[in-house]
């Protein structure tokens, strides 16, 4: 069974999704699309113990008291996307990496654009820190939640180090 609930964050309302004992989604509720593979209509709104834990950890993150999440994650994606998302989880709090650095880390040196596309499809924002990936020139480029949110998250982490 799939469950979801909402969390009011400084960024707006986030929707947390759980399935089979793992977090499968964390998205801004106003930016949620409903593709056929994620029929939220079939999910039940419920603050399960895992969703409550996710909301508690998000609260700690936004208060500057949490630097790493300890949640079971199960993002739905291709093997390549999951490889990229795993690499994103190695970027330390308050630091950034370029798309090229991630491509090199996953041993796909010509895969910068593919890394960008996988980043864009990340279903678990903040926890899988795609906001920490920037252009090789240091520019804030591309973020599914919007560049203003990416800038906010990076700024938040810098002042909370």
Domain boundary among 37, 62, 87: 62
- Establish if 72 belongs to a structural domain: no
68, part of any domain: no
Are 153 and 113 in the same domain? yes
Per-residue confidence band for 109, with pLDDT thresholds at 50, 70 and 90: very high
Predicted pLDDT of residue 143: 82
Pair 149, 28: CB distance under 8 Å: yes
**Number of domains observed in the structure of the chain:** 2
CA-CA distance, 90 to 23, in Å (whole number)? 18
Helix spans in 63-111 (H)? 79-88, 99-105
112 annotated active-site: no
DSSP state of 130: G
Judged against a pLDDT cut of 90, whether residue 56 lies above it is answered with: yes
pLDDT at 92 over 70: yes
Containing domain of residue 33, as a range?
Answer: 2-62
For 135-147, how does the pLDDT look when each residue is reduced to its tens digit (9 = 90+)? 888 888 878 788 9
Q: Cα-flanking dihedrals φ and ψ of residue 31, to 5°?
A: -110, 10
**Which residues of the chain form beta strands (DSSP E)?**
2-9, 12-19, 22-28, 44-45, 97-98, 133-134
Q: Are residues 45 and 87 in the same domain?
A: no
- 104 vs 46: CA distance, rounded Å: 40
**Of 89, 112, 130, 160, which is the active-site residue?**
130
Q: Are residues 143 and 85 part of one domain?
A: yes
* Structural domain contains residue 74: no
Top pLDDT among 97 and 141 is at: 97
Do 88 and 153 lie in a common domain? Answer: yes
Binning pLDDT at 50, 70 and 90, where does residue 37 land?
Answer: very low
The CATH number given to whatever domain includes residue 108 is: 1.10.10.10
Reply yes or no on whether the pLDDT at 36 is more than 60. no
């Amino acid at each position: 069974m799939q469950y979801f609930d909402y969390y009011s964050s400084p960024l707006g309302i986030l929707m947390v999704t759980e399935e089979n004992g793992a977090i499968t989604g964390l998205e801004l509720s106003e930016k949620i699309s409903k593709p056929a593979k994620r029929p939220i209509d079939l999910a039940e709104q419920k603050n399960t113990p895992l969703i409550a834990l996710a909301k508690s950890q998000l609260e700690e993150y936004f208060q500057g008291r949490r630097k790493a999440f300890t949640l079971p994650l199960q993002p739905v994606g291709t093997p390549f996307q999951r490889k990229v998302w795993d690499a994103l989880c190695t970027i330390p709090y308050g630091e950034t990496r370029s798309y090229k650095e991630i491509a090199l880390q996953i041993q796909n040196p010509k895969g910068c654009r593919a890394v960008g596309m996988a980043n864009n499809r990340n279903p678990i924002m903040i926890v899988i820190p795609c906001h920490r990936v920037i252009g090789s020139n240091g520019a804030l480029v591309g973020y599914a939640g919007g560049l203003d949110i990416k800038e906010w998250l990076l700024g938040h982490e810098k002042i909370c180090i």
